[in-house]
Each structure stands twice: as structure tokens, then as C-alpha cells.
Chains A and B, each alone.
Chain A
């Protein structure tokens, strides 16, 4: 069994590249998702002041800087042996809900909705957010933009700026909230609750009332029976900011529940020479190749992984929607990759409801926002990024400098599953060397449901992702290449 090394792994940057290999009959033998670039974060963090880490690591990603910022801050709390004040924890979580709001809106409306609202077979020039607005109406388009901006504003009020915020410090946060700011956030939060309810209704009307879409969601090429992982609170409800890492099996039963400190006892990473991305798996089960099922250690994270790994949502409206999803899709866990989109909207509602709970908390204007730090040591931080469980692990030397850093990034956790989803979608559309014209989009849909963030650059907004699909024949000779920018 491969053991995890605490050596730095490296965050990946670049466009997605998919290689599909055919056998002698012209059927799909294998697919490879490659990430051919490297930026080297964990390496150049060595020797830095630990306090710089929330700033440096947020630069990994322009889409989810807040996730890195706080995973890092939490690792610093632990490394400096300090418990943040109760108010500081609430302020961090509040800011985090703002981030989840804008990120989930971005993904659903800009990236995913073109497939469902405009349709998977619509011409590519219509399959973008403008096509969505055209079909759903300009008023809705304005609401989408407005509420995404609200998420950003909530983040910026607490973080100074929404992209690469400056907020988290070991033991607390840099700034508290004024009464005016509380009022402002409350108004935005209220509106976000309504918008999230509206989004779920839109999903219901356009997707769930269309039998073709429901059939597509439940179809085999879009189904994977993997383990699921996510953070849960003490009642096993979904929590973005804190809790224990819970893994459930193919029957929805708890398989593991552990503190982030024990992540390396439970997760190992498999390296394939053809990609810079590493493939994490459950150590207790082992790496069995790109297979799903009980015998394979591959697991999924992200909105659907989180909902599958929990017993419900802690806020009332989101919990109702949670139950509805499982009733509609025949019980927990749901293994349909395309249900990630539904789960994402349920989480959007949870983020808005949670914003309201936190902003109404009497402690939210407290000035007691930071505790003094202790001696430097080793620290673990975990948070649920929009795309899934994110772990930062640092070892500090006695001067508080980074000796070693290891990051397990959300998308990396999904790497094995994404590779399989791409393979299954490709197998479905390529038969006897005949390449179905819908190939690219069907493959993309499998890929897109995870909201992959191999690079933020791959996080293309409306329309096509920068994606290159190369198809090789049984002699490994390039047979056809399709590029879409």
C-alpha cells in the first residue's frame, strides 16, 4: 500500500486535456484526463512565515480564494495552538457563506444551466449564459447577476476584497463588523434566501418536469457508485466551515468519521505518470484502479458528496429540499453525477439561511475577535470548498517558518471519479470507431458536474470549456482531435 508523503504536492494549473484510447474494435479502452502544468505552490511555501500562508495559498485560485484562505487560517490556528474566539469563528463562517453563495451561483447559472435550460443538443453558440438569459428572461438574468454580487459584497465587507481577501489570522480575524454592515448583510442575506428558493423552483420546472432530463440524470454513463466524503457537524448535518470528515459507503452508511488530524491515516494518494494531478483514495480500501464500488477506495466530494455523506441540512428550508431530492431520486446515496447540480442549489439555500442565522447572532458585532497565539508546531486545517473537502497541513519550525506543507485540493479528491465519469460518457458515445457528434458535450457534461477547478483557467464561464479531446486508435496513433476553446 502506498503511504502518503508529507512532502509538498503541487496545485495544478492549466487547461483540461482528455485523451481517449480505442481498442482494435474501435471501442473505448481507456481515457486519461491530463493536467500538464505545474505552479509549485507547496514547494515555494517552504521557508515562508506561516502567517503568510492564507495570503499565498489564496492565489492558487481566483475562483475559490476564500476556501484556501480559511483552510490555511484554520491550519494556522492549530499550528500556533490557539483556539479562535467564538465571535471570530462566526465571522469567518459568515464570510464563508458569502463565498459559497457567489461561487455556487457562478457554477449553476453560468456553467451548468446552459446544458439544462438551453439544452444539451442546442448549438454551442446558444449554450452560454446569454442563451440562458434569452430563454429564462432578462429579469432573471439581472437577478442572477445581482445575487452573485451580493455574495461578493458580503465576502468583501469582511475580507476587505472578495478575491484574495485579507481576513483570517491565527486565533481570529483582522476586523469585526459595524452595525451598518450588519444591516447591509442582513438585507442581502434575506434576498439571497428568496433567490435560492427561486433557483430550486427553476430547477424543478425546467429539469425535473422534463422526463428526458430525469432519464439522463439517472442513466448509467452518469452513475458512479463510489464512497462519499464531506464535513459534518455534531448532528451529522452538512457544515462548510467546521466539523469532522465523514465518509459514507454505497449504502449510505457511515464508513469513517475522523478528525482532519488523521487524514493521512485515512487518505492516500496514487500517482499516475501521465498527469500532474494526484488521485486520492481511501487507504483502508486501497487503490484498485479507476473502478467504483465497495472494493475501490475512490470517493467523491463536492455538493453531492457532502449531501450523501451527511444525514441532512441544519437549516429548515434546505433540509426540506434535501429530503425532497432523496425522495425523488430513490434514496440516499444518490449516485448520479448530474445530481451534483441539484445538490449545489440545495447548498445555495443553506448558505443563505446560514448567513441569516449568523448575522442575527448577538455575538456577531463582538469586538473580541482574536486570541493570542501560542508556540509554533504542526497544524491541520479542513474546510468544505465549493468543490469539496480541502485540507491544508503545515509543519512549522521553532521560528514559525513553514518546514513542510501539504495541500489536498477539492478537485484532487474528485480526480479519480472525474476520470471515470469521462471514460463512461466516452464509452457511451463512441462505438466501433464511430464518433457521435454529441461526444464533446456529453463528455463535458460528465466533467462539468464536478465543477472542476484544475485551474481556474479551466473554469470557463458560458459556453465551451477550453478542452482538447484526442482520440487514439489501437496502435496509439492519433485518430482524431477535437479542440474547443
Chain B
């Protein structure tokens, strides 16, 4: 409705400005304002759209009844009647043919065709599947090989690491065993105590730049507990 009402140029302009018939209204665009146009006047579509009321200047206009001569009227009527009869008959014939074709198509042919089509599609699909299965097998085999290698390598690395660790631990054990001779055990604990008591080492001394030793001298600490007394005395000495 709206499209048919406006002239071609108006529609084109509307499209360019990106508006439609509702936003434009009826008087928004005059054809003379349309850019780049030779003056055009639409003959088929009048200026007033059908939904507007009668123009004020036309309200009291009474259109004249057309006077058609009787002979013309009879002839025109006959022709129109013939035309309409023919068109309805022809229309009915075409409808009937269309209906027949439709029913024919619906029943058997379509089913057969769909089945055939399905078969053909299925065959193509199977072919594709087989092709891709081959590719997939190769790819999977490669993947398996790679994974195997990676796992083997990792195992090897692990073994090497373990070996290194073993060696290191062995060395450590050997060292400790060597040192274990000097350890204080239950057997030689008395001797060790004795030795400690005899050879008192005093760490409370300092060295200055000239190489002189200074012995630490502290005032004697008042006795607080008897248990602490001997150690404190020893330290002071």
C-alpha cells in the first residue's frame, strides 16, 4: 500500500534518507525537492492517500454520473461477461490440474524419491566415513607411537635419576659410617664426659687486628638455682 502510493523517485529518496512512509508523512517530501531529478509527476497515484478525508475544496463537489450509450453498454457488458466467464473457467481448470498434480506427488512419487535420495546420500556418507576412518587409523597409530616413545623416555629419565640418587645416598651413608666412629654412644659416654670435663674449651674470647687474644671476663653471676650453678661457674672460668 505505502510503496505503491509513492512514486519511484520518492521511494528511492526515502531509501537513501532511510525513512519509511509512516515517519515521512504525506507532505514531508515534495518531488521537486528530490535531488538530481528532472521534474516528475506521478500520474497513476494521486497526491492524496486513501486514508485521508476528502479535501476541503472537494467536499461539495458532486461527480457527474457517466452517460454511456445503450449500444455501448450492451456491448461492453457482453464482453465483460464473456471475459469473466472465461477467466473463472480457466482458473478452475488450472486449480483442478494443480490439485491433481499435488495428490499424485503426495502419494507415491515423493516417497520413492526420498528413499532413493536417502540411499544415494547414505552411500556417499559411507564412502566418506571409510575415507576418514583410514586417515584416523594412521593418525591414531602415529599418536600411539609418539606416546610410547614419550613414556619410554620418561621411564629412562626416571631410572637415571634414581641411579644418581642411589649413588648420592650411598656416598652419604659411607661418609656417615666413616664419621660414626667418633659418635658418642652408650659405651663411651662416660669417657666422653670425662674428656669434656678435663678439656674445657672456652669460646668466650676474641681476636683483634694485631693478633692478640682477649679472654672474656664477666663478673660472677649470683646463684639462682643449684642445678645451674656448676655450668655458670664453668662458663665464667
Q: Do the two chains belong together in a single complex? A: no
Which chain B residues have a beta carbon within 8 Å of chain A's beta carbons?
none
